[in-house]
């Protein structure tokens, strides 16, 4: 007979697993950069970052836990069948070959390899090219049959990486490289909302739709089947993971904020952490951190390639899983060679465009006990939020649209990057009125 409960110890280990899934080595770089840029506005900036980098991913996991055998495709389909097909594809491409997977390659190169190369070799790009061929070649081979190898590497390297980080953060806090400086222009006005948008770069809120299923499968493996029990364990495990992420992010942000005196403002967090580590612990410490991050990035890369290849193979089974792995790995390798700073820059417009829609879907899923089967609420709310966020995405790409001037004049919170919020609420209310007219069912259980 299936058990209906799970022990605190088992919940704790599921929480640690979720922490490890969310904490890709690439996540190291963004709090560091935020800390440098935010300066003495660090507190409000990191609070905003934690909301999108920790809080929303937690809500995403809970939303998946509350959904009854639903995934990102079925949740997106509540908006429209076509949206239910296209939006998950965009999500998988975003956390896969377009941004997240190439980023694992560039982060591991910037931290683990680049500091060991001569200036001329780094500048030529040859070192990065050779490394990407090796790194993604290994990713390809492991993704074909990940099995226990990747799992074992992750179980060993994640604790090692966390131990190194713990020591680094303790030393950085007790013996900082310098004092906190004035903020850059972007953080002088509304640092909380700037930090909120910087949290998009972790992509963890998007990933929560996929990672939530991993947690649910782990919970079900313990014999828990009741939806309410699954949601309860998801909440407990999510809080454990969120607490760990928040502590690491705050420590990294402080490390970045106190590094400006010694390093100046640098272009990305990979350079910050590698330089800080070398200054605090010497060459050996830098080498140790580099090795740990290379393997940590490799396990993340393999996990994401496997997830994406599996999804696309399920979507179009006529193409083999191995072919998907090959194509996804090659695309990731090519994009990784544009460099970490460029990948981050390219990702910003896409994330600005899709993040609000992801947030709306998460909130509506959490409200499903109230919203129930009033399905009209989903398309109207996502549509109104999406119109604003897509315009924001185009603007973030440097192509300012005329309509954005109207948004700036009339939309509340638009200047803070939150112009989509009120339209989402208005759209939800319009959808509610339509649901009354169409006599849509109130309770999800009905």
Pair (214, 287) in one structural domain: yes
253 pLDDT band, cuts 50/70/90, is: very high
Pair (236, 318) in one structural domain: yes
Give the pLDDT score at 443: 46
Q: In this structure, is residue 347 part of a structural domain?
A: no
Q: In this structure, is residue 206 part of a structural domain?
A: yes
365, two tokens: 């899923």
Give the pLDDT score at 359: 95
Q: Which domain holds residue 313?
A: 8-340
Q: In total, how many domains does the chain have?
A: 2
| Mean pLDDT lowest among 228-237, 304-313, 351-360, 425-434 | 228-237
140, two tokens: 């390809």
Pair (336, 371) in one structural domain: no
Give the pLDDT score at 378: 93
Give the pLDDT score at 303: 85
Q: In this structure, is residue 362 part of a structural domain?
A: no
Dihedral sign for Cα atoms in the order 119, 123, 124, 130: positive
Compare 274 and 157 and report the one with higher pLDDT: 274
* Average pLDDT score over residue span 23-35: 86
**pLDDT tens per residue, range 43-77:** 999 999 999 999 999 999 888 877 766 778 888 99
Q: In this structure, is residue 357 part of a structural domain?
A: no
* Average pLDDT score over residue span 81-88: 93
Give the pLDDT score at 48: 96
Q: In this structure, is residue 333 part of a structural domain?
A: yes
52-61, 232-241, 435-444 — most confident range: 52-61
| Mean pLDDT lowest among 5-9, 10-14, 162-166, 410-414 | 5-9
**pLDDT tens per residue, range 376-433:** 899 999 999 999 999 999 999 988 888 998 999 999 999 999 999 999 999 999 998 8
* Average pLDDT score over residue span 196-222: 86
**pLDDT tens per residue, range 333-368:** 999 999 988 999 999 999 999 999 999 999 998 887
Instruction: Round the average pLDDT of the chain to a whole number and report it.
Output: 88
Pair (336, 372) in one structural domain: no
Give the pLDDT score at 446: 40
Q: In this structure, is residue 145 part of a structural domain?
A: yes
* Average pLDDT score over residue span 28-42: 94
Give the pLDDT score at 202: 92
Overall size of the chain counted in residues = 446
d(Cα 221, Cα 434) in Å, to the nearest integer? 41
Whether the per-residue pLDDT at 4 is higher than 50: the answer is: no
Helix 191-198 × helix 42-50 angle, to 10°: 40
Whether the per-residue pLDDT at 374 is higher than 80: the answer is: no
Pair (28, 175) in one structural domain: yes
Pair (81, 219) in one structural domain: yes
Whether the per-residue pLDDT at 197 is higher than 90: the answer is: yes
Whether the per-residue pLDDT at 369 is higher than 80: the answer is: no
Give the pLDDT score at 445: 42
Whether the per-residue pLDDT at 1 is higher than 70: the answer is: no
d(Cα 246, Cα 94) in Å, to the nearest integer? 24
11 pLDDT band, cuts 50/70/90, is: confident
Compare 25 and 389 and report the one with higher pLDDT: 389
Pair (309, 433) in one structural domain: no
Give the pLDDT score at 65: 79
Pair (381, 290) in one structural domain: no
Pair (17, 134) in one structural domain: yes
* Average pLDDT score over residue span 179-203: 93
Share of the chain above pLDDT 70, in %: 92
Pair (377, 325) in one structural domain: no
Q: In this structure, is residue 238 part of a structural domain?
A: yes
**pLDDT tens per residue, range 93-134:** 999 999 999 999 999 999 989 888 888 888 888 889 999 999
Can you give the CATH number for the domain in which 317 is found? 1.20.1740.10
Q: In this structure, is residue 124 part of a structural domain?
A: yes
146-160, 222-236, 283-297, 420-434 — most confident range: 420-434
Pair (202, 73) in one structural domain: yes
Pair (244, 301) in one structural domain: yes
Whether the per-residue pLDDT at 36 is higher than 90: the answer is: yes
Whether the per-residue pLDDT at 439 is higher than 80: the answer is: no
């Amino acid at each position: 007979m299936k058990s209906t409960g799970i022990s605190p110890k088992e919940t704790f280990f599921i929480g640690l697993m979720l922490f490890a899934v969310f904490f890709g080595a690439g996540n190291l770089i963004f709090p560091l950069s935020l800390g440098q840029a935010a300066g003495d506005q660090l507190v409000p900036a990191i609070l905003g970052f934690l909301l999108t980098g920790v809080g929303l991913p937690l809500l995403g996991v809970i939303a998946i836990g509350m959904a009854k055998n639903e995934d990102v495709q079925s949740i997106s389909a509540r908006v429209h069948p076509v949206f239910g097909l296209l939006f998950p594809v965009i999500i998988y491409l975003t956390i896969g070959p377009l941004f997240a997977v190439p980023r694992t390659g560039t982060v591991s190169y910037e931290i683990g390899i680049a500091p060991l190369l001569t200036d001329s070799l780094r500048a030529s790009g040859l070192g990065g090219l050779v490394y990407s061929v090796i790194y993604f070649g290994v990713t390809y081979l492991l993704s074909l049959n990940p099995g226990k190898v990747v799992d074992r590497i992750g179980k060993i390297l994640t604790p090692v990486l966390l131990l190194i980080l713990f020591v680094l953060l303790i030393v950085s806090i007790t013996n900082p490289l310098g004092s906190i400086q004035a903020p850059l222009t972007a953080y002088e006005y509304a640092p909380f909302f700037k930090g909120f948008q910087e949290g998009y770069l972790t992509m963890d809120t998007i990933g929560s739709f996929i990672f939530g299923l991993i947690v649910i499968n782990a919970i079900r493996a313990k014999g828990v089947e009741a939806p309410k029990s699954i949601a309860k364990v998801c909440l407990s495990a999510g809080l454990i993971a969120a607490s760990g992420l928040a502590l690491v992010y705050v420590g990294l942000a402080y490390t970045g904020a106190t590094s400006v005196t010694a390093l100046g403002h640098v272009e990305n967090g990979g350079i910050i952490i590698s330089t800080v580590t070398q200054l605090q612990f010497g060459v050996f410490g830098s080498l140790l951190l580099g090795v740990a991050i290379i393997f940590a990035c490799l396990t993340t890369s393999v996990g994401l390639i496997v997830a994406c290849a599996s999804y696309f193979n399920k979507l179009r089974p006529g193409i083999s899983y191995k072919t998907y792995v090959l194509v996804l790995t090659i695309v990731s390798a090519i994009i990784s060679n544009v460099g970490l700073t460029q990948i981050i820059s390219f990702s910003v417009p896409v994330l600005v465009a899709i993040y609000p829609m992801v947030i709306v879907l998460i909130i509506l899923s959490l409200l499903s006990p109230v919203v129930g089967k009033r399905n009209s609420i989903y398309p109207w709310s996502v549509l109104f939020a999406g119109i604003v966020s897509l315009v924001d995405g185009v603007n973030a790409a440097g192509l300012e649209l005329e309509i954005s001037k109207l948004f700036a004049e009339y939309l509340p919170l638009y200047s803070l990057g939150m112009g989509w919020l009120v339209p989402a609420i208005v759209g939800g209310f319009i959808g509610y009125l339509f649901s009354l007219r169409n006599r849509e069912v109130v309770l999800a259980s009905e």
